[in-house]
Structure 1
């Protein structure tokens, strides 16, 4: 029963008022009383957390938790691309010449997702990867590559669910939700990291300062579960042959190579 309540409140809520109420509750001191049950229901790995459960004063603090220093190992090969998040790889495939991708039977426009026609050409015939974070996942976002930030911008105002039901039945959620887009130039080519909000306006907080990104370094965090879309320039990315969908993945694990 309690698991059903959590699903309804956290995974499926998208109304303006209900989202605002939930946001306020998650940040309130009262929410600390459900931290232990939330951790149990979603089977959080308390051993890897930087703090013990009793040290999180609110549910929000638990959501944006940091991990112990050695909790994630970052693949350090020069050409490797690593997962930026703990997540499920839901889909991977080509971006067609019309800038479209097909996810869960729905067509999304990369041009709409990026909101920048001038940048679009380099990603046509490239590759996309979608990584979905549930409430059970660690919510910090890390850089998948070494490189230089060329630009970062925000788009969208509302955020609807981006879980399997949201992707299947929502209205172009990946391209219309509130999102923060970071374009990175690597020695091999360009990668766009699209951080898509799932609940509330501005559910993404950026933490990285400066223009240089180090693979595995923290970039931002989600205040609730959401999705990261990686876009790779044409002919620069080769997916790891061990990757299949859906696949559970952790920060720092290799998802492919740049060439």
Structure 2
């Protein structure tokens, strides 16, 4: 009963009109009145911010804030794979031979997530990592490895929440929400960085102009909290033994080693 009520409420509110209203509000000067309370409620670490709280004139500016240089050191090991975001690792597992993953008891099709059977083929029996960003997190996205962007594409339009309730009761948000997929290649293998839009605010901005990426470089940002799904080809990564979900990670922390 709760599942259907939850879905009904989301369907009634998750439309282009309400999304535009919320987006317009967060970009308006009126929203600046909420910045102090927002920072307090979500315990924003102001010591890390590039600029002081009073510098931000809208909520959207605070959402996409940058950090001071050096506060997110990138793991220095040459073959390490690092977290692309500040987030909670919600789940880790193996992509099945049927191109499926199981997250919070729900089965997702990788072919649906990536938009085609062909795109999913290379990730069979590979590893997936689910990284959830709450409204309190730093919202910029960085490259998990050094490599080359081999492809980037966009899918979906409307979005369910991607928090724990959304993952449990939503209509497969990781595979159906608005999402931008960036595929990065290195050494003949690939990782897909699937940036999943959150409810209402679907803006995902690509900020890196070149196809060549250095591990830890900024590549994009969310305009609100959301989720990043990492899909690794079989044999491309060995997971660091300390990575056990659920756990908090920050940009640049080592997730494993590129093989």
Report the TM range for the smaller structure's normalisation: over 0.9
Aligned to 2:210: 210
Aligned to 1:251: 251
After superposition, the C-alpha distances for 1:48-73 in whole angstroms (9 at most, x for unaligned) are: 10110000000000000000011100
| Aligned pairs (5 A) from 1:77-92 | 77-92=77-92
Any gaps of 5 or more consecutive residues in structure 1?
A: 1-12
Q: CA deviation at 1:76?
A: 2.1
TM-score (norm 1): 0.93
Aligned to 2:7: none
Q: Is 2:133 the partner of 1:130?
A: no
Aligned to 1:3: none
Preserved contact between residue 14 and residue 161 of structure 1 (Cα < 8 Å) = no
CA RMSD of aligned residues (A): 1.2
Q: Distance in 1 between matches of 2:21 and 2:201?
A: 13
Q: Distance in 1 between matches of 2:52 and 2:62?
A: 10
Q: Secondary structure at the match of 1:60?
A: helix
Q: Secondary structure at the match of 1:251?
A: coil
TM-score (norm 2): 0.93
| Aligned pairs (5 A) from 1:41-190 | 41-187=41-187, 189-190=189-190
Preserved contact between residue 188 and residue 258 of structure 1 (Cα < 8 Å) = no
How many residue pairs end up in the alignment?
247
Q: Distance in 1 between matches of 2:188 and 2:45?
A: 36
Worse overlay, 106-115 or 234-243: 234-243
Structure 1 residues 222, 85: closer, same or farther in 2, change over 3 A? same
Q: CA deviation at 1:201?
A: 6.2
Aligned to 1:35: 35
Any gaps of 5 or more consecutive residues in structure 2?
A: 1-12
Q: Distance in 2 between matches of 1:49 and 1:94?
A: 36
Q: CA deviation at 1:188?
A: 5.6
Q: Distance in 1 between matches of 2:235 and 2:129?
A: 15
Aligned to 2:223: 223
